[in-house]
A and B are shown apart, each in its own frame.
Chain A
C-alpha cells in the first residue's frame, strides 16, 4: 500500500500544477474579461474562395 503515498504525491503534484496554472491565468489577466471571449470565438473569417457563391452555402443554418 506504500504506493498510495506515491499516488497521493503525484495527485498533489498535478493538483498543485493546476493551481499554479490557475494563479498564473488569473494574474496574467486571462479571466479579466469573462464575457467577450465567449462571443469572439464565434467569429471566424470566411476563407477567400475564388468560386465565391459556393462558400456562402457552407453554413447550414
Chain B
C-alpha cells in the first residue's frame, strides 16, 4: 500500500527520534514455499475428496468397491480421513502460516532449507499413508492409523516445522506478536504432545505394532488425542489464519483485539479436557465422562466468542461480502464453525449423546466443520493468495462465485440427509413396542431405512468436489495469466534492542530471556515432556487398576491372528465393540460391556460408528458356517446387507512369521502368556484352526486350515464370551 517504508500506524505512538535514525532493512519474503504448499493443498484436497466420494457410495452400494481389498470401505475410510485432515487441511495450515508469519514478523522464514525439508517431508509422509493404508497397515486408532515408522517421521517433520517457526519468530522485526501467531504456537506445542503420547506403541515388525495402552486406557488416550486433533489441528491453526486472512480480505481490523486474546487463552485451556465426551456410556469410569462433559459445555463460550469476533469484523463491510467471493467463503466458514461448536457441546450432553452416538449424526456434525469451516476457509485463502502470489487478478470472479454456490449447496445436500439418517436410526435402535420388545430387532432393518440418505450424501460430496475442481481451473488460469513472484521484496526497520525500544518493558529482570524466549520455551517443553514420560509411562504400564475379571483371559494365538486381520480390514470403522448400558442395547446385543473385559485389547477396538451392528457379544451367537458364508457374501445371510464381501480372506494364507514376535511384545506389555509360548504359538494356532475346519466340515464346508478366514472366525467366536458363566452356557446349549 505505502510506497515508502513507514513506521507502524499507531494512535498512541510518541515521536521517537531514535527510530528515525534507525537502519531500514531490506529483505525478501519467500512466496515459493507458500505457492508449493498451496499446490499441495489443492492436489491432496481433490484426492482426499475423491476417496471420500468412493467411500460414501460404497455405503449405499457395496459393489462400488469393485471387489478388491485395497478399495474396500474399511481400508479407504482411514485413507479419506487422513488425506483430508493431514494432507488437505495440513498443507492449508502450512500455506497460510508460511505466508502470514513472514509478514506478521516482518522477516523471511528462518531457514529456506528447513522450509524445503518440511514441505517434502510432509508430502512423503502423505505418500506413505496413501500406500500403507489401503494395504491394511493400520493401528486402527482413528486419525492416528499410520504405523510406527511413519509416526516417527511425523514427529521429525513436526519438529522441523516448529524449529522453522520459532526461528522466524525469534528474528522478527515486530516486537508484538499478533494474535494469529499465538494460535500457531499453541497448535505446534499441543499437537506435538498429543501425537507423541497417543503414538506410544511397541513395534512387532516393520509396519506392525501394539499399543502401549490396553482397553479402557487405550480408549481414553485415543480420544484425548482424537478430540484434540480436531481442536488443535482443525481449529486453532485455522482460527489463527482467520485472524489474519479475514481482516486482510475485509480490509479492516478485527472487531475486538481484546476479545481475540481472551478467545485464545480460554479456548486452548478448556479444549484439552473435552476428549472423554467421545466415550459417554462406555466402560470409561463415570467421573471421567462427567469431566469431559463439563469442559465440553464450557467450550461454547470461547468458541462463540471467536465466531462473533469474526462475523463482527465484517460490520459495515457486508456490501463487500456481496461482491467478493473470498469474503463469501469466509462468512460461511465462520458460520459453519459457529454451528459445529454449538452442536459439539449439545452432543456432549449425555441424553443427546445417547441418541446421536454411533449414528450418522456425528458424521454430519464433523462434515459441517470439515466442509464448511476448514474447506471454505482454505478456499478463501487460496482465492486471496493466488492473485497476490502471481501478481495478477483472479481469472474469474464469476467462476469463484459459482464455486461458492455449488459448494454451499453441496454441504447442505451432504449434511441434511445424514442428520435425518442419524436421528432416524438412533430412534429406531431404541424403539420398543407395546409388548416391551424391540420394535426393530433386526439391525439391518434400521440400515435399509437410511440407505437413500447415503445416496444423497454421496451426491452432496460430488457437488462439493465439483466446486473444488472449478477452483482448480480458476487458480490454474490465474497462475497462467501472471508470473510467480517467488521472492517478494520488503523493508522494515530493524527491531531495536529491548533496552532502547520504548515499546519494550526496558530493564526488566528477564530481559535476557526475551532474546530467545521461544527456543527456550520450546526446548523447556521438550525437556519436561521427555522427563515426565520417562518417569510416568513405565509406572503406568506395570499394573493397571481396571477392575479385573478373573475369567477374562488373553487371546489364543489364532484369535490374536484373527484380531489383527480384523484391524487390517478396518472392521472397526463400521462395527463397535461396546454394548452401552441401555435396555435397548442389552436386549439387542446382550450383557453390557465392562472395563475389565478389555484388559488384553491392544489396541482397543470399541469403534465410534455403527454402520453395522455391535459385535462385542458376537461370540457363540452363530455357528462357524454362518460366519464363513457371511464373510464370503454378506447378503447370503442378511439379504440387502450393505457389508462388502471379503473373498480374499479365503485365498490368503495366515502369516505366522511374525507371531513369535507378537507374543513376545505382548508379554513385555504384561499379557500373561506362559514363558516360552512364543515358540509354541504357531503350533497352538494351527491346532485350533484344525478344530474349526473340522467343525465346518460337519456342515459340508471344505476349507484349508491355513486360510485367513479361519483365524477371523476364531476371533469373532471369542468376542465377549469370557464373562459368560458356565451354567448359562449349559442352559443355552440344552435348549
Contact = CB atoms under 8 A, between A and B. Distances in A.
Interface of A: 1-7, 9-11, 13-15, 17-19, 21-22, 24-25, 27-31, 33-49, 51, 54-55, 57-58, 60-61
B177 A30 contact: yes
A21 to B, nearest CB: 7
Given A24-B517, A35-B11, A54-B392, A44 B1 contact: yes
Interface in B476-491: 482, 485, 488-491
Interface of B: 1-3, 5-6, 8-13, 103-104, 174, 176-179, 182, 185-186, 189-190, 193, 197, 213, 216-217, 220-221, 224, 244, 247-248, 251-254, 257-258, 260-261, 265, 268-269, 272-273, 284-285, 288, 320, 323-324, 326, 387-388, 391-394, 397, 482, 485, 488-491, 503-505, 508, 510, 514, 517, 521, 525, 528-529, 532, 536-537, 540, 543-546, 595
29 contacts: A1-B216, A1-B545, A2-B545, A3-B213, A11-B273, A17-B521, A18-B186, A18-B265, A21-B185, A21-B521, A24-B517, A25-B177, A28-B505, A36-B10, A36-B11, A36-B13, A37-B176, A37-B178, A38-B253, A38-B260, A42-B247, A43-B2, A44-B490, A45-B491, A46-B3, A47-B485, A51-B391, A60-B326, A61-B251
A31 to B, nearest CB: 6
Contact of B9 (A3, A9, A43): A43
Contacts of B197: 6-7, 10
A20 B546 CA distance: 35
A25 B179 CA distance: 11
A14 to B, nearest CB: 6
Contacts of A22: 265
What 9 A-B pairs have minimum CB-CB distances, sorted nearest first? A38-B253, A3-B217, A38-B257, A40-B8, A34-B258, A36-B10, A29-B505, A47-B488, A34-B257
Contacts, number: 169
A46 B284 CA distance: 56
B480 to A, nearest CB: 15
A3 B505 contact: no
A28 B508 contact: yes
A54 B481 CA distance: 11
Nearest to B325: A60
A55 B265 contact: no
A38 to B, nearest CB: 4
Contacts of A6: 197, 536-537, 540
Given A6-B540, A7-B220, A7-B224, A44 B103 contact: yes
B493 to A, nearest CB: 12
Contacts of B217: 1-3
Contacts of A11: 224, 272-273
